[in-house]
A and B are shown apart, each in its own frame.
Chain A
């Protein structure tokens, strides 16, 4: 048995508003999601900006939890600005990463990596860590963030969307891996 197994990969052939992994087995110790993505937003009302990824979790075969049950924190470095940090509690999503905006560097997709720890342990809330990078003229940014879903149930669904219901660009990929512990 391989330690790191590919569970599913989604490659976007068209623009979509969200991507969900469903029926995630509870048999792994940790999960990892690798994203190569960019935003498709029309019209692009904020040239030079960057897009914020939203993440939500679900359990029991149902839809993702849209209640105010998420906590998050994000720290970033951007150009010569003083590094910033943002934290929120009781939110309806976590937003631990930033990606490319549509008007910037049309061929470039942002990398982001998400680790979800001990996701099947019903003694713990679900906690994840992100790293991400986006290159925009005048506002290149590297960041790392975390999110916590205030629920001890085993997650079997993950949804990736964007701020203000913006869309994911064609060509964006999401790969979900499971890491075994035996």
Chain B
């Protein structure tokens, strides 16, 4: 399987969201790796992942996550993006950034709704207070994906030094 860098960006200042450039339809799958933090006044900062700029109520998601001494699962129907991978808010030390990997198989087909799998984490230097999370989500649209957006649910900003690396994967 061959990996190709589609684009990479390190933020030089705060932005309300990050959106990729136009993604060619020539790959089989997409992988987005994020090292990110927001200025939301919280330990955790929930994110939405959107496709093609669609912020309509066209997404369904399921989450399984570990936080403190318990694990939880929650589903989210009718959201405006795949909900809710978790990054770090502004409460942890300034050097603390969350991590997130988004897998989107067969993103360019025009027959099926699109599904994505997201693994994310919001570390925190306090016992038991980090969070790890698996999110599966569906975009109810058969269009080929041409852009990906990561946007904080709270309306706060993604901050400087957050990085976004988008890969295209081909099997041939």
What's the dominant secondary structure at chain A's contact region? Answer: strand
**Chain A: CB-nearest residue to B33:** A30
Of A2, A29, A71, A115, most B-chain CB atoms within 10 Å? A71
What's the dominant secondary structure at chain B's contact region? Answer: strand
Residues on the B chain within 8 Å of A29, using CB: 8, 33, 163, 165
A125 touches B95 (CB 8 A): yes
Of B35, B93, B132, most A-chain CB atoms within 10 Å? B132
Residues on the A chain within 8 Å of B10, using CB: 121
**Chain A: CB-nearest residue to B97:** A124
Interface size class of B (residues with CB under 8 A): 35 or more
B99 touches A179 (CB 8 A): no
> A129: which of B3, B95, B119, B165 is its contact (CB, 8 Å)?
B119
A83 touches B71 (CB 8 A): yes
Which stretch of A41-49, A86-94, A133-141 is in the interface?
A86-94
Q: What CA separation (Å) do A4 and B132 show in the bound complex? A: 25
B99 touches A128 (CB 8 A): yes
Kindly state whether residue A101 has any CB partner on chain B within 8 Å: no
> B3: which of A4, A84, A144, A145 is its contact (CB, 8 Å)?
A4
What is the total of A-B residue contacts with beta carbons within 8 Å? 149
CB-CB contacts of B105-140 with A at 8 A, as 1s and 0s?
A: 000000000000001110111111111101000000
B165 touches A73 (CB 8 A): no
> A3: which of B123, B132, B167 is its contact (CB, 8 Å)?
B167
Kindly state whether residue A14 has any CB partner on chain B within 8 Å: no
Interface size class of A (residues with CB under 8 A): 35 or more
Q: How far is the CB of B94 from chain A (nearest CB, A)?
A: 8
A85-B66, A124-B95 known; A144 vs B165 contact (CB < 8 Å): no
> B35: which of A117, A144, A179, A182 is its contact (CB, 8 Å)?
A117
* Chain B stretch 68-114: residues in CB contact (< 8 A) with chain A: 68-71, 73, 93, 95-99, 101
Q: How far is the CB of B77 from chain A (nearest CB, A)?
A: 22
Kindly state whether residue A54 has any CB partner on chain B within 8 Å: no
B5 touches A181 (CB 8 A): yes
Q: What CA separation (Å) do A83 and B69 show in the bound complex? A: 10
Kindly state whether residue A123 has any CB partner on chain B within 8 Å: yes
Residues on the A chain within 8 Å of B93, using CB: 125, 150
Residues on the A chain within 8 Å of B71, using CB: 75-77, 82-85
Residues on the A chain within 8 Å of B64, using CB: 75, 77, 83
Q: How far is the CB of B5 from chain A (nearest CB, A)?
A: 5
A115 touches B70 (CB 8 A): no
User: Which A positions have Cβ atoms within 8 angstroms of B?
Assistant: 2-4, 29-30, 71-77, 82-90, 115, 117-118, 121, 123-125, 127-129, 131, 144-148, 150, 152, 179-182
